[in-house]
Amino acid sequence: MDSILQSLRSIFVPIRREGYPFIVGFFLFSLILGWAWRPLFWVGLVLTVWCIYFFRDPPRVTPASAALVISPADGKIASVGAAVPPSELGLGIGQMVRISVFMSVFDCHVNRAPVAGTVSRIAYRKGKFVNADLDKASEDNERNGLVIDSAHGNVGVVQIAGLVARRIVCWTKEGDRLAAGERFGMIRFGSRVDVYLPPSVRVLAAVGQTAIGGETVVARFGGEDGERVLRVE
């Protein structure tokens, strides 16, 4: 019996409970479309399957090293460079290393902690809903930021709403202790996550690279010869 359950778990990816109302809503909408005109039912069913796929929450294996910075989301590395963190994070006015991950509507949207540490601050800010793939989205869009007090200093993680994303979900609280790769929230539908790191970090990610949340290493504290260092003044 245990082997059967393990086989089923390997076939069916877990679904976040936050997605259940949307999945049911899409299916009911499919039934209404089918009642109006039967071929439309199949269109609605395809959308329902996509909704199930969107809210998937697959298990991830996070590298076990406190020196590593892990991608907080699935998607494409949209930018790597120096930037001043959002003022509401309280990280000062000096530039930090920023790594941005853009999530399309086909990526898993569960967000994970890039480093282990204690959540010392959570700050929400209203804003616009421009394309999250644009650099100005980090400044203009609605966002929710976390500051994680790690062994290597404060790390900022900012969930940014996108063009069609209208809801940022964060279920962690100030004072919570997060492990690297641990789930802390999600964004619906299509969005971006920025990570702000101390200047001493060595970047391993490249723009255009595909990242897997909770698994892909995007930076390292300490580093090794040959790794890229961003000079942040």
Q: How far, in Å, are 32, 46, 67, 99 from residue 36 at the CA level?
A: 6, 17, 57, 47
What does R_g of the chain's alpha carbons equal in angstroms?
Answer: 19
Distance CA 207, CA 10 (A): 32
191 catalytic residue (yes or no): yes
Question: Of 30, 120, 191, 200, which is the active-site residue?
Answer: 191
The residue among 203, 18, 205 whose CA lies nearest residue 101 is 205
Tell me how crowded residue 208 is: count the other CB atoms within 10 A of its CB. 8
Cα-Cα end-to-end distance for the chain: 60
User: Residue 192 phi/psi, 5° resolution?
Assistant: -155, 150
- Please answer whether residues 162 and 231 qualify as being in contact, where contact means their C-beta atoms are separated by less than 8 angstroms: no
β-pairing, 217-221 vs 68-70, is antiparallel
Closest by alpha carbon to 119, among 171, 177, 66?
177
Enumerate the active-site residues.
Answer: 191
